[in-house]
Structure 1
Amino acid sequence: MLTNRTILQRRIEDIFSIQNTNPKPGRIWLFTTFLATACAAMSLSFSQISTAKAETAEEKSDSKQTVRAMAKTWQIDFGHLWINSSSPDGKYVAGHNLDDGKFVIVNIDTGEQVLATQLDFIWSPDYVWSPDGKRIAFNYRDSISFLSIDTGKIEEFYSGRKLWVDDWSPDGRFLLCKEDGQELSDNRNTIVLVSTHTKKLKEFRTDKFGDSEGLYPRFSPDSTIFVYSTKDKGQSILHFQSVDGSKHVQYEDFKGVIEKPLWSPDGLYVIFKGSCGKSVDIWGLKVKNGEPIGIPFVVKPTTEHMHIISWSKNGKLLYSLEGVYDGIYVLPVDMNTGQATNEPRMVVRGGSPLHLWSPDGKQIAHREYVSGEPGFLFYSVENGRLLHEFPLSKMTYYGVGGGWLSDRNALLYGGKDTDGNAGFFAFDILTGEPTFLVSDPKAQSQMFTLSCARDNKTVACIHDGHVVVGNIDDWKPVQISKVKDGEKPSFGMPKISPDGKWVAYNKYASGLLITSIDGSETRELINFERDGVRAGQYYDWSPNGQFIVFTTVKKLWLVATKGGEPFEISLPVEISRIFEPKWSPDGKYISFKAGGLSKDPQHWVMENFLPKE
């Protein structure tokens, strides 16, 4: 029975909670302001604010007279949409519907969906708008393609080298792309300009090794410079590179980690997400004649869960906030039915979705940064306590899929070390020391998909788009996937069954398959069109081999390995985004990365927050 005090408390919470306001899609519904200065900007809290406030402040900049700036921040409710980018004029946004996974384009002012279509990729790429707002470039089926906003039709633009598109020059002449270092002989990342008229390539080699994640190259508003970030021996470097190749300036004075640099629409500033110690803030840096000047200043403090989406010509910065319940959870389940028996419990707070169970089911190894370097952190499943950690300091590239070798007490991953060895490595659980096991340069670029059987010997990975299996003691990989004549192989994420007799894998354009380890038999468990369910890249076998668990944006599903329709796991709580399901060795839990419990994605707009010239 509720007491009067409890009723009053809930009523007060209803009045002040931003989760209970339910505005119409596209309608601006919360407005705050914060005080901006040349050194830092103090923001108002986004939660539990019922009234709008505005303030002005004088600020001094070098020898100039005082300048007034009024910053404004408001939230936009897009319902169950996860927004990826906005059009150059700031009128439209592109993203995914979290209910059905469709790609959508929405009018910000009216909330109207001007386009909704199903694209057959299994992850969310970057959507790069053309300067005129009529097309979107994105990675699609191992190529760069254009999507017409008016017709919804997709046209392949470039295929050949595996390039990841990041930006479209404001003058329309170039696509700004990156190429992973593991694709190249010296393992150095390359930034590539692709002419939108001739498709000719212009390369800029970087000093970043391994995968290209973290470069974040972006064009200046006048299309003459692009900025990107790298890191050398723990020191972040911000690069200003002229498009014609005549000038390259490095900024190394920021004492912290630099991520996601972005130009202001007027080209006078570059902002970035900066981590100094335990503080994560949005910083600004003034730019003149293609070079940084002065010292960086805080634009918005305490932004650990903030993801910058885009900055449109009208000065509006669009960003999202991760759910405060972001982390890796374990969900108690009945292995025989696959249904949840209790609520999920957090084991790891925040971080990446990449994790592995220990063979005894007592630990989770989490791929995350350790002392500024990629590494592993080991957590107790029982109480979430951090047990130990180690960095991968001797590796220049490392995959995201692997296995736990019980006979060696080591983690098995693919990658490339500082000595140039490319293939499979075993990382000692206690020290992180790598042991080079198998040389396989051919698998290097795609071995993030590797899976290891319980015998600690049999490995499945990807060669040239096909699934191959082999023994790490005598590596002679055998292809088990098949395609029709003239069909391009496009398979991914192989997972070996607990009994070692089958391999599950995705055929990106059509469905989820399992093939016997000798390649003699193949079953189609899920057909995207037939079943109406698009199994994502995240899935795992149940320990008894009866089910495969997989995800579709915000839901957990099961499909029987002997056939039958997929069915949903009924969760006791609503989950906004869900990734990387893993079944515990004893079958009692399914772990997964959740992007926020009982919260829809929060999208915000901020403008007028930089110093005035």
Structure 2
Amino acid sequence: MNKKLLATVFSALVLATAVSAAGAAAQAEDPGVMLRAAIEKEEVEGDLQKAIELYRAIVLRHGGRTSVAAKAPLRIGECYEKLGNTEAVKAYEAVLSKFPGEAEAVAEARGRLAELRKEAPAALTMTRLIPPEARELEGPALSPDGTKVAGVEISTGQNLAVYDLASGKLEYLTHYGWKMDDHAVWVPIWSPTGREIVHQDNPFSYDGQELRITDLAGKSRVLMTNPEGGLAPCDWLADGGAILAVRGNKEKTASLGLISVKDGTFRELISLERPYENRGGDMPSYWMSGSADASPDGRFIAFADGPADGGRNIHILSMDGRSKTTLVDNPADDMQPRWSPDGRHIVFLSDRSGSRGLWGVAVREGKPEGVPFQIQEGLLNTDLGSWTRTGLQTWSHVIMSEICVVDIDPRSHAVLGKPRVMEFPRSSWNLAPRWSPDGRFLSAMAYRAPSSGGRSESPTLMIMPSEGGAARAYKIEYPYARMGGTGHWLPDGSQSYVVYDKEKRLHFGRLDLDTGVWQHRQIPAAEGLERFMGLAWSADGKGFYYIPVTEEGAAPELVLHDMESGQRRTIFRGQPGESYNWNIKASRDYKRLAMSCAEFIVIVDVDTGKAERLANEAKKQFAAPAWAPDGKFVVAKGQPENEGDPAELYIISLADGALKSLDIGRHLPRRARIMTAADWSPDGRHIAFDSRFWNAETNLVKNVIPEKN
């Protein structure tokens, strides 16, 4: 063989060897190959430490190839579990933070974390504060000395009340009803002395919100008003001089700041990332109020914040607003921070283990000291109240809202059986049932409450065939700021709504049931229509009746608005100081309108404007009358006279005012209420109504922080 041939053969061998070596090296760097080698090291050879090193190398070199790399920290966690090392928790949390898009790996990591943290400390105890036989309060707050609970009681109005834990006595500090000139109380926060309570106190007819300070004798004063929308108190500083609050701004942003107790001025500390949005320009006030808490020494503020469509983190802000530190940074949703009375820990709610639980973290000088630890699991539908020396107060609540139908004899009006629940999709609020003009359909409005601190969803119109069948849902995406007259049937059998925006422009929407498409258009508006109550359509569908919201003490009016010209015509004028319920109902022939005013049912002839007030001998308070098909009777809900009275519907004769109770309250759950209105079917055989059932527990958690922390 000549030299030239030998050189060629030798070069080929060298090249082949190099290619083979490169291929082997590439294969060795393949993440799948590396993963199999690490698993072999773990499971075959039993060298857990070496396996951990190999798994870490996968994450380091191939973190971008998530489908394989996400498995590596899972295996690291399993190795540490075998070694009995607490580093397993960090490994599983790395899966959640670095590979949030890998659903299978994330689910497995959450499952392992739940197993590792599922046992609560034995020393922790939970005790119910308000017994089940007592009237439970919404949005409760425990007094600083742990002897009283302030909250909202809603049997006869949305009122501020205080429950004495020793005597079991409930004292009302406000005495509002459900009329449009009444107020609604929400979000009570105790003063450091326990002698006063700051709370929302908003007129039903007012678009903004106001805060009041009320003492235990019921004496009240306005602290601050926000015409732009939301205003939610969060905490009362220990020195008593200021109240920590979240304020909604004109641009639908929100700010955290301090309100001076002396003069009501607001000092902004920080602009929040999470916006506010809710019906009427309001923010989800209860959850916003729970988003911040001041430290006992008055130096720091713990608050939860994050994007509207994502999870929140816990931050600490200096009281002057100049320094912000992230206390808890996690892909989970962390919310409702609360300082311990000694200022050494912050607890918060989090879903990082797969479901909502109570977590804690040690703090020193406004910074975290160590990693978060789990305190208690299984806190779905639970919110945190105040944390006093006696313990951490919590509030667990379940709300169910149903559309029900009761069958009656159209002649005798005898009830034929128990009310039955209609199979509408579940939501936070199923309200305002209405029969179509031909009786073929039953509609209702569904409102879904926001998750803690999130945005409330747009309402949904639900329509169900009256003879049975699945309900269809029609989403209503309002492009406008204010809402009114929603979910009403037009005389031609189509659905409609009327809304107005902040520029006082009026908009009309009509739903085609066949196509499911909403048609929107702007219509002329008359002066004063930017705020109105109720809505009922005229016989030709070209106009609607409404009651303008007027100043307190003024005479209410019933007005017809022409949608083509924008002109308004007063049909009826009430007496000064009278207050009418928000519901207006047209008779089936569209010749008369029914309204309620205290113990009166008011019937108005739309052609002549002549009104007839029907009193009842029992002097019962009625609301939301609806017509019988023959126009000789109405059905109305009777307002409960006393705490604990059941919800009830009454049929009222227009001839003599005689009352007939349908006695449906005995079939409804305890504490159930008829929320908005009833409606009588065109064939006279069915009455539909909405029912809200609410159950809650106010609890006290003691020994919150385990001794080792």
Structure 1-normalised TM-score? 0.67
**Residues 1:607 and 1:570: Cα distance change in structure 2 (over 3 Å):** same
Query: What one-letter code is carried by the residue in structure 2 that aligns with 1:170?
Result: W
Q: Map residues 88-237 of structure 1 onto 2, 5 A cutoff.
A: 88-89=143-144, 90-94=146-150, 104-115=161-172, 118-121=175-178, 125-131=185-191, 132-136=193-197, 137-139=199-201, 141=203, 144-149=211-216, 151-155=217-221, 161=227, 166-167=232-233, 169-171=235-237, 172-174=240-242, 194-202=259-267, 207-209=275-277, 211-214=281-284, 216-218=287-289, 219-222=292-295, 225=301, 227=303, 232=308, 234-235=309-310
RMSD across aligned positions (CA):
5.2
Letter in 2 for 1:134: R
Aligned counterpart in structure 1 of residue 678 of structure 2, from 576, 579, 582: 582
The C-alpha deviation readout for 1:537-572, integer Å capped at 9, x for no partner, is x65444444214125364123363747376643124
1:439-458 alignment, distance < 5 Å? 440=525, 446=531, 449-453=534-538, 455-458=540-543
Equivalent-residue separation in structure 2 for 1:207 and 1:356 (angstroms): 32
Q: Which residue in the other structure is 2:649 paired with?
A: 557
After TM superposition, the structure 1 = structure 2 runs for residues 421-570 of structure 1, keeping only pairs within 5 Å, are: 423-429=507-513, 430-431=515-516, 433-438=518-523, 440=525, 446=531, 449-453=534-538, 455-461=540-546, 463-465=548-550, 468-478=559-569, 482=573, 493-498=582-587, 499-505=589-595, 513=602, 515-517=604-606, 520-525=609-614, 533-535=620-622, 540-545=626-631, 546-552=633-639, 554-558=646-650, 560=652, 562=654, 564=657, 568-570=661-663
Number of aligned positions between the proteins:
536
SS in 2 for 1:82: coil
- Paired position in structure 2 for 1:353: 430
C-alpha distance 165-564 of structure 1, shift in aligned 2 (>3 A): farther
Residue deviations 1:3-28 (CA, integer Å, cap 9, x gap): xxxxxxxxxxxxxxxxxxxxxxxxxx
Distance 1:105 1:129, change over 3 A: same
What residue is the counterpart of 2:692 in the other structure? 595
Please report how far the alpha carbon of residue 369 of structure 1 lies from its aligned counterpart in structure 2 after TM superposition. 4.5
Question: Which whole-Å CA distance do the structure 1 matches of 2:627 and 2:332 have between them?
Answer: 41
1:209 touches 1:397 (CA, 8 Å); kept in 2?
A: no
* Separation of aligned partners in 2, 1:396 and 1:445: 12
Q: Secondary structure at the match of 1:547?
A: strand
AA partner of residue 430 (structure 2): P
Whether the aligned pair in 2 keeps the contact of 1:285 and 1:297 (CA below 8 Å) is: yes
SS for the counterpart of 2:458 is strand
1:295–1:275 Cα change, 3 Å: closer
Cα distance, 1:383–1:504 mapped onto 2, change above 3 Å: closer
Higher RCO (C-alpha 8 Å, min separation 6)? 1
Unaligned runs of 5+ in 2: 1-88, 93-113, 451-455, 551-555, 641-645
What per-residue deviation string (whole Å, max 9, x for no partner) do you get for residues 265-318 of structure 1?
557546458799xx8745658696889997897954373xx3647334233323
Q: 1:329 to 1:201 in 2, by over 3 A?
A: same
Q: Which residue of 2 aligns with 1:607?
A: 701
Deviation per residue, 1:364-419 (Å, 9 max, x gap): 343235999424263536687644334344636463642133647333242559x9
Name the CA shift for 1:608/1:94 in 2 (closer, same or farther; >3 Å).
closer
Question: CA offset at residue 577 of structure 1?
Answer: 1.9
Partner of 2:51: none
* SS, match of residue 201 in structure 2: strand
Closer/same/farther in 2, CA of residues 58 and 135 from structure 1, 3 Å limit: same
C-alpha separation between the residues in 2 aligned to 1:160 and 1:604? 30
Q: Which structure has the highest helix share of the two?
A: 2
Contact 2:234 2:246 in 1 (8 A): no
SS at match of 2:566: strand
Alpha-carbon distance between aligned partners in 2 of 1:298 and 1:543, rounded to the nearest angstrom? 59
Which stretch shows the higher mean deviation, 194-203 or 249-258?
249-258
Structure 1, unpaired ranges of 5+: 1-37, 41-56
3-state SS in 2 of match to 1:459? strand
Q: Which residue of 2 aligns with 1:25?
A: none
1:30-87 CA distance string (max 9 Å, x none): xxxxxxxx999xxxxxxxxxxxxxxxx99889xxxx9946433344424251312233
Measured at CA, do residues 548 and 271 of structure 1 come closer, stay the same or move farther in structure 2, by a change above 3 Å?
farther
State the AA in 2 paired with 1:167: P
User: In terms of mean alpha carbon deviation, does 118-127 or 128-137 score higher?
Assistant: 118-127
- Measured in 2, the distance between the counterparts of 1:511 and 1:164 equals 35
What aligned pairs does 1:23-102 form with structure 2 within 5 A after superposition? 68=121, 70-75=123-128, 76-79=130-133, 81-84=135-138, 85-89=140-144, 90-94=146-150
Q: What residue is the counterpart of 1:18 in the other structure?
A: none
**Could you tell me how far apart the structure 2 residues matched to 1:518 and 1:290 are?**
70
Deviations 1:456-484 (A, max 9, x none): 33323454435543133333334567576
Counterpart CA distance in 1 for 2:333 and 2:327 is 12
Q: Secondary structure at the match of 1:79?
A: coil
Offset of 1:607 from its aligned partner?
Answer: 1.2
Distance 2:650 2:352 in 1: 39
Q: Which amino acid aligns with 1:558?
A: Y
Q: Distance in 1 between matches of 2:168 and 2:677?
A: 33
> Which amino acid in the other structure matches residue 583 of structure 1?
D
Contact 1:72 1:609 in 2 (8 A): yes
Q: CA separation in 2, counterparts of 1:568 and 1:601?
A: 26
Please tell me whether residue 331 in structure 1 is matched to residue 418 in structure 2: no
2:110 maps to which residue? none
CA distance in structure 1 between the aligned counterparts of 2:592 and 2:150, rounded to whole angstroms: 39
Distance 1:328 1:70, change over 3 A: farther
Give the conservation status (yes or no) of the 8 Å contact 1:469–1:517. Answer: no
Instruction: Using the aligned pairs only, state the percent identity.
Output: 13
Q: 1:311 — aligned with what?
A: 386
Letter in 2 for 1:362: F
Q: In structure 2, give the amino acid aligned to 1:207.
A: P
Partner Cα distance (2:352, 2:526) in 1? 35
CA distance in 2, matches of 1:163, 1:176: 17
TM-score by length of 2: 0.60
Cα deviation, 1:332-391, whole Å, max 9, x if unaligned, reads 234566653221111234530324435134343432359994242635366876443343
